[in-house]
Amino acid sequence: MKLRYLVLAGALAQAGLVHGMGLGELELQSYLGNPLQADLRIVGPGQFDQDDIQVRIARPEVYERFGARFEAFHNQIDFTVQPSPGGSIRVQANSKGSVQEPFLDIVVELSWPQGTTYRRYSLLVDPPAYAA
């Protein structure tokens, strides 16, 4: 009976050690008519470093599950995983082409050795006149 409680206690202790990770807030740094530039924060990277983490635009099927519409422009967005000061990890998003629509709705995929997660970002891209 004691052994059963010890096994149960060990299993419960292990349940809290799941290495979850997620995508945090997106900080838009560009304006309408310019290439997309944005920073994303990685939440809870734990022991993983930038080489273990991949970030990309989700597949069109994932967009459907999120109720979002996949646009051709989304294929032009590249993500670069970089270390930040203080040991955290950030992601730089850049597009090859210019953002032409003021509303941008993207689904981003985050993958690491223990899993994959997705996050939908709905962005309102201001015209350059709002920079002042």
pLDDT digits (tens, 9 = 90+) for 75-97: 999 999 998 877 778 899 999 99
Segments of the chain scoring below 70 in pLDDT? 1-19, 130-132
3-state helix, strand, coil in the chain (%, to 5): 25, 45, 30
pLDDT for residue 8: 42
Is the pTM for the entire model greater than 0.75? yes
By C-alpha distance, which of 118, 124, 125 is closest to 60?
A: 118
pLDDT for residue 6: 40
pLDDT for residue 35: 97
